[in-house]
Amino acid sequence: MSTAPEPDLSTWPTGRLLAVAARLVEQRWVAVLAGLDLTHAGLIALHTLRGGPLPQRTLAQRCQVTDQTMSRTLGRLTKAGFVTRTPDPADGRRHVTRMTASGRAVLDRAVRAEREDPGLLGGLGDDDAFRARLLSLIDGLSAGG
C-alpha cells in the first residue's frame, strides 16, 4: 500500500510526461554538478561557449533561453570565475562572454563525467530515434510553431 506512488502516469498527456522525465534526468546531475561548483544551466552555457566567445544575446538564443535568464546564469558563472564578460569595443551595447581556463577545465570534467557515468542518463544513452523525435519537436516549437 505504501508503495503505490504513480498508479496512473500512463494516462498523462505526453507533454506532462516530458516535463517529469526532464526533471528526473536533470536531478540525476545535481550531485555531480554541485561537486564541480556548477549548475545545469551554467553547464549548458559553458558547452555553448566551447567554440569561442559570444555576445550574450547570441548565447541566449543558442541555449534556447531568454536574454534575462542568460544574464543571471552568466552572473553566477562570472562570480564562480568560469566566464568573463567584457564590453565589446566594436559595439558598446554588447558584452562579449568568454570562457576562462577554469571554465574550460570544469566543462571538460563535466563532459567526462557524463560520458563515464551511464547512470546519469538513466539508460537513454544513444537512442537515436528518441533523440530525433526530441530534435524535431524542438525545431517545430522553437521556430514557427
Partner DNA sequence: CCCAATTGTTCAGCAGGCTGAACATTCTGC
Partner DNA sequence: GCAGAATGTTCAGCCTGCTGAACAATTGGG
Cα 113 from chain centroid? 15
Site string for DNA, 21-60 (x = CB under 7 A): --x---x-----------xxxx-x----------xxx---
Q: Which does 62 bind (CB under 5 to 8 A by kind): a copy of itself, DNA, none?
A: a copy of itself
Under 8 Å between Cβ of 48 and 62:
yes
Span 57-116, contacts to a copy of itself by CB under 8 A: 61-62, 64, 114
For residue 108, give Cα distances in angstroms to 40, 85, 105: 14, 21, 5
Total residues found in the chain within this entry: 145
Pairwise CA distance, residues 108 & 98, whole Å:
16
CB of 73 to DNA, least distance (A): 5
Binding site for a copy of itself (CB under 8 A): 5-10, 12-29, 40, 44, 47-48, 51, 61-62, 64, 114, 119-125, 127, 129-131, 133-138, 140-142, 145
